Structure formats: structure tokens, C-alpha cells
Homo-oligomer: A and B are copies of this chain.
């Protein structure tokens, strides 16, 4: 079955920030036309960083859209033209008092493919080290939290962890432990 939907036209509703919003007119596989509201996002990278003590490096930060602080792996939007691996290394060092020698790709995924093109690139940090310095942006408020595998298991079971990228990365970690 041909599933392809094609663009007929696209109207920008908002393009003044990193998120751009379009109302597109599209052609369905059966020839009918329809509409799609589409959110365009530059993409992001995130990192599963395990310390030498076998704890995962998490960050707690306010998520305005959700009205609460969430526990997540370090992550950030890609700068224009930025290599996602570099972005993952940068975010770990900027958001936490840890850094890594390098990162290896685990996988990528779409966070909300029904309406948004955001791709999350998920990395595993190699040779994680504690740093003495942490210099976040003046307007960035992030706490570092370290969890053992057992604490992660518990935090998934009781749904304390409820962020997509964090669940995917931590499940990957737990599956590698067993």
C-alpha cells in the first residue's frame, strides 16, 4: 500500500524562534486533500553518562510546558550545523559537573512524529569523569542527581522518571546490565 502524503502548500504560522509552526495542505494516498499542523525543530542530542561508581548522571530542571521539574538525562538542542555527538558532549559538561572523553551513538528517535519533526540523537558517554568546575548560564537552573541502576529501576517502576529520552536511554542501560 502506498502511504505517502505529499505537500500541496505550506503557510508559516510562527517562525521567530527555534520552533517553527506551519499549516500545510497535503495530498493523501487516495487523492483527497487534508491539513497538517507541523512543528519544525532543529533536533537535539542527549547522553547516557555512567560514572566510575556505576551511577547515571541525571539533571532535574523545570519544564515550563509541563508545570513541573523533571528528572532527565543531560540534553540540548543542536546549534545550526552542529554535530549531534559534539552537542551531547557539550551538554554533559555544561549542565553537570561531569564530562566524557567521547560518545558513541545508541540510536535516534522522533519524540512526537504525529506533529513534530524533532529527532533526538541518543549517545553513550565513554570515560566519564568528575570535573571541579561547573559554569552554567546565568539563566539556567539545573540540579545534578546521581542514581544507581537499582534506583533507576525503582524510578521507572514508580513513574518518577516520565521523560521520553530518559526512559529510552535508561531502559537501554538496564537491558545491558542483566
Contact = CB atoms under 8 A, between A and B. Distances in A.
B3 A61 contact: yes
Contacts of A130: none
A174 to B, nearest CB: 7
B60 A3 contact: yes
A156 B14 contact: no
Nearest to A76: B114
A66 B117 contact: yes
Contacts of A178: 175, 178
- Please tell me how many copies of the chain the complex holds: 2
B163 A34 contact: no
Given A19-B115, A168-B167, A30 B65 contact: no
Contacts of A67: 117
Given A164-B168, A171-B175, A34 B139 contact: yes
Given A14-B37, A19-B115, A178-B178, A110 B168 contact: no
Contact of A19 (B37, B62, B64): B37
Give the residue among A19, A110, A138, A175 with the most B Cβ atoms within 10 A.
A110
Contacts of A139: 28, 30, 32, 34
Contacts of A29: 62, 141
Interface string A143-163: 100000000000010010011
Contact of A162 (B34, B61, B107): B107
A109 B161 CA distance: 8
Given A19-B37, A168-B171, A171-B175, A62 B111 contact: no
**4 closest Cβ pairs, A-B complex:** A171-B171, A63-B113, A164-B164, A3-B62
